Structure 1
């Protein structure tokens, strides 16, 4: 049911034409063709989810995270987050660090891992998301669709959260559609509600004080092939 017969048939013919498979029975070739077609379908779905998410770092990977001491993260902990079922267990995860600490990379890596697990993901910078919500208000249908899309996605990644202020309309939309947060919001009551919704029972990752952006630049400058 997960495959179109033509995909299996095409792969079946390719395997039959390959002399390396002469020792395989027709049944073995058929099973191999089915497995290959299923894997290709899975890869296509993952690629589609990653493109739809809008990650600024689409190559980010849990395997490439720098786990140096004082970053507050370990491979075991990140694998646990990477395998998390965001759909069955909706969870707020707060990632904090000074500028350059690697928050965006880590958020993208976790989001991409979620895509590999079949989850729908939306990545957005806070100011961009607020702008989209305000613009969409001019069209009732588009506005409701955007709110529905945000509410129904398995994992919503909001980067640069409240590093800039947003207006009351955007604050209201965010409160209606997701989990939110703090004083830059124009309505203090809404701000308090947003803080409670986001922070209550939220898991937290504090990446410490290491400036990964500066560290990477220094490492690049130390490379024999570096020039400027």
Structure 2
């Protein structure tokens, strides 16, 4: 069996997981019929899968989803929601780096757009894409604050420009100032034809043009978002009310 000196060597090579799993397999009498090569390759596969799980957990953590357990598998497909299992499975398996088409998720308040955006984003992380989730008001605040430090500001713009999938939720639910709009234009211009952006909003492109502070910048921003995009209209089903009513129906619920 391996000694502590051996494990120091494994750590230096960053293959500790391989060595640990290999030793476990050797000690398991049910593997006596397998060759050392087979056991070693099994240990390699195990270590690679562990690394993959660690990368995915890190991607989900870094994305900062407000609903970290959102799942495409748990979506509600009742009539009127404008989504189907087949369509959502396509989004769950989508290669975002290979397709820069944007996605617009439109619904009134309570329609479940934030949950859907998180579910799609988490599925992207499971496929090992980098994802950034941001609510529009928080993102605008971060952009404005970072302007006091030129290096930090440029770093933030670069991060938003280069992440595989950028998700902006509650888009223009509240207004943004001209500086934030200018930064948003820069990010979207950098992403155009390269990387996709998901927009979740209570309103559509026609309203966005009117709500943005500068008409020229507004036309450019909305043009980049809407003209090369897919759209999910979630309809008017109030999922928040349905969820709350379901919770109240539970015999353990109290108020």
TM-score under structure 2 length normalisation: 0.85
CA distance in 1, matches of 2:188, 2:27: 53
Moved more, 155-164 or 31-40: 31-40
CA distance in 2, matches of 1:156, 1:8: 35
For residue 12 of structure 1, what is the aligned residue in structure 2?
22
For residue 51 of structure 1, what is the aligned residue in structure 2?
61
CA distance in 2, matches of 1:209, 1:227: 28
**Unaligned stretches of 5+ residues in structure 1:** none
For residue 114 of structure 1, what is the aligned residue in structure 2?
124
Deviations 1:82-124 (A, max 9, x none): 1111112112100011111100100000000101111110000
CA distance in 2, matches of 1:150, 1:201: 19
- Secondary structure of the 2:96 match is coil
For residue 211 of structure 1, what is the aligned residue in structure 2?
238
- Secondary structure of the 2:98 match is coil
* Corresponding position: 1:22 with 2:20: no
Following superposition of structure 1 onto structure 2, how do residues 26-37 of structure 1 map, counting pairs within 5 Å? 26-37=36-47
CA distance in 2, matches of 1:41, 1:94: 33
Judge conservation of contact 1:171–1:190 (CA < 8 Å) in 2.
yes
CA distance in 1, matches of 2:53, 2:76: 26
Q: Alignment length, in residue pairs?
A: 226
CA distance in 1, matches of 2:30, 2:105: 50
CA distance in 2, matches of 1:114, 1:144: 26
TM-score under structure 1 length normalisation: 0.94
Instruction: Kindly report structure 1 stretches of 4+ aligned residues shifted beyond 4 Å.
Output: none
CA distance in 1, matches of 2:188, 2:252: 46
**Unaligned stretches of 5+ residues in structure 2:** 1-12, 190-198, 200-207
- State which of 189, 196, 211 in structure 1 corresponds to 2:223: 196
Moved more, 41-50 or 25-34: 25-34
